[in-house]
A and B are shown apart, each in its own frame.
Chain A
Amino acid sequence: MDNDRSHDNLKEQDYLKDMPNHEFDEAVNTMQSSIQDEIAASTDLLGDKLDISMLKNEYSADDVQYQKKIQNLEKRYSHVRKTRGDGNCFFRAFGFGYLEHMLSDKKDYPIFQENASNSFQKLMDLKYPSFTVEDFFENFISVVNSVKEGVSHTELLNTFREEGMSNYFVVYLRLITSCQLQSDSDFYQNFIDGGKTLVEFCKTEVEPMYLESDHIHIIALTSALGACVRVAYMDRGGDDLSFHDFPEDSQPTLHLLYRPGHYDVLYPR
């Protein structure tokens, strides 16, 4: 079976090798989007709130390392809400999770709203095209304002489940992140390896949709919006979970679960 598959892969590579460049790109894109279509068909952009114990079923019972980590997770958290693994999961989890939190606790809202409102001018100062950015901003700020205007939990959830609205929100969070990185480039430049300039990094790793987020994205987005986030890391390293707060020494209001390549929303007990 495995042999068959690797044989197929070889044939596929041969087939790609002989293509002119643009057809090769086309073929790769088609393959990628068919993988993405598969993911889209099998998971919601944003799932329902699930009991945290459900996570146990995702790993085999004799996976001692993960089962132990999940037990520890259960002590702190009661529920998890999954996001679609389309590369936008951090932004979507952050966007929905933070607004959801502010529906019930308005304490963090004023500072979030102020930073959100000011972000458009900051992008204009960096000479972003107003035409498109305005479109993303208007959508974004109307969702942010809806929290103050008493939007219901179901309506907020529906907004983040509707592909157009949800992705527009993600596009704008990516722009805020990029803007923050560029505004404080002396600081962030130190985190970028691979010989890219900060602007190149933003254009290739931050602003395009469907690309995964790293520490640097989280640092930039949380500091741009004045948000406090705790990430619980569950991976193959170490015997126990590790936690990281953004910014450090803050009181986190939103909790996210990280598993390699993916973020979901966590609900503390």
Chain B
Amino acid sequence: MATSAAVLLLRKQLAELQKHPVDGFSAGLVDEVNIFKWEILIIGPADSLYDGGYFKAHMTFPEDYPQRPPKLKFISDIWHPNVGKDGMVCISILHEPGDDKYGYEKAAERWLPVHTVETIMVSVISLLCDPNDESPANVDAAKEFREDKKKFKRHVAKCVRKSQEEL
């Protein structure tokens, strides 16, 4: 029932992003008939370990978007403390508002209806540059990031290479 507002806002955003692309990512639909599922191609930021990589992710919007946040899931393999092994991105801006359960995420960074795909992606890209190993979704990656940077870098480099081959 809430769908029509969501559809209009998503169409508007998609058109805008295709007309005026934003640095760092590009956006399209997974399937032309479904405006609720986007395919995002994230370009590994130049000043990060992910430089040179092209990572595919799917952003899925709920019917009552923008009252509730979308979910973001990497389709390409990616090794990052805040991306689960299933590809789910765990970032505070995509969390529903509510009490802070762990005390180290700034509540002000949680989901708000004014957020756009662009503001989400800006946060995700900055997360690639600067992982948050205090609230990991991938505990092994976080441990490596903290304790064995060399191994972590090798792991990431492998994903970057794989993403280039798959492109």
A129 touches B114 (CB 8 A): yes
Interface of chain B: mostly helix, strand, loop or mixed: loop
Tell yes or no: A135 within 8 A of B by CB.
Answer: yes
A209 touches B113 (CB 8 A): yes
**Docked CA distance A32–B97 (Å):** 12
Collect the chain B residues with CB atoms within 8 Å of residue A32's CB: 96, 98
B101 touches A24 (CB 8 A): yes
Of B12, B115, B139, the residue contacting A20 (CB under 8 A) is B139
Q: Which of B23-31, B36-44, B103-111, B156-164 contacts A (4 or more CB under 8 A)?
A: B103-111
Collect the chain B residues with CB atoms within 8 Å of residue A175's CB: 114
Q: Which of B1-9, B48-56, B123-131, B143-151 contacts A (4 or more CB under 8 A)?
A: B1-9
Q: Mark B82-126, 1 if CB is under 8 A from A, else 0.
A: 001000101000011110011000011011111110110000000
B2 touches A164 (CB 8 A): yes
A132 touches B113 (CB 8 A): yes
Tell yes or no: A234 within 8 A of B by CB.
Answer: no
**Docked CA distance A211–B22 (Å):** 33
Of A21, A136, A165, the residue contacting B90 (CB under 8 A) is A21
A164 touches B3 (CB 8 A): yes
Collect the chain A residues with CB atoms within 8 Å of residue B110's CB: 203-204, 208
B116 touches A131 (CB 8 A): yes
Given contacts A199-B108, A200-B107, A207-B112, contact A22 B84 (CB under 8 A): yes
Q: Mark A146-166, 1 if CB is under 8 A from B, else 0.
A: 000000000000000011110
Given contacts A132-B113, A136-B113, contact A20 B137 (CB under 8 A): yes
Collect the chain B residues with CB atoms within 8 Å of residue A199's CB: 108
Collect the chain A residues with CB atoms within 8 Å of residue B6's CB: 164
**Docked CA distance A208–B69 (Å):** 11
Tell yes or no: A77 within 8 A of B by CB.
Answer: no
Tell yes or no: B60 within 8 A of A by CB.
Answer: no
Tell yes or no: B64 within 8 A of A by CB.
Answer: yes
B115 touches A132 (CB 8 A): yes
Given contacts A203-B107, A204-B107, A209-B113, contact A131 B13 (CB under 8 A): yes
Collect the chain B residues with CB atoms within 8 Å of residue A132's CB: 9, 66, 113-116
B4 touches A21 (CB 8 A): no
Report the minimal beta-carbon distance from A34 to chain B, rounded to whole angstroms: 14
**Docked CA distance A21–B135 (Å):** 7
Tell yes or no: A133 within 8 A of B by CB.
Answer: yes
A171 touches B67 (CB 8 A): yes
Collect the chain A residues with CB atoms within 8 Å of residue B114's CB: 128-129, 132-133, 136, 175, 207
Report the minimal beta-carbon distance from A250 to chain B, rounded to whole angstroms: 30
Supply 19 A–B pairs (Cβ within 8 Å), ascending by A: A20-B84, A21-B136, A22-B84, A131-B12, A132-B113, A135-B12, A136-B113, A139-B5, A162-B1, A163-B2, A163-B64, A164-B5, A168-B5, A171-B66, A171-B67, A207-B113, A208-B110, A208-B113, A209-B68
Give A residues with C-beta under 8 Å from B: 20-22, 24-25, 28-29, 32, 128-129, 131-133, 135-136, 139, 162-165, 167-168, 171, 175, 199-200, 203-204, 207-211
Extra contacts besides A132-B114, A163-B2, A164-B6 (16): CB < 8 Å: A20-B136, A21-B90, A25-B95, A25-B96, A129-B114, A129-B115, A129-B116, A162-B1, A163-B64, A164-B1, A167-B5, A171-B67, A203-B107, A204-B108, A208-B96, A209-B113
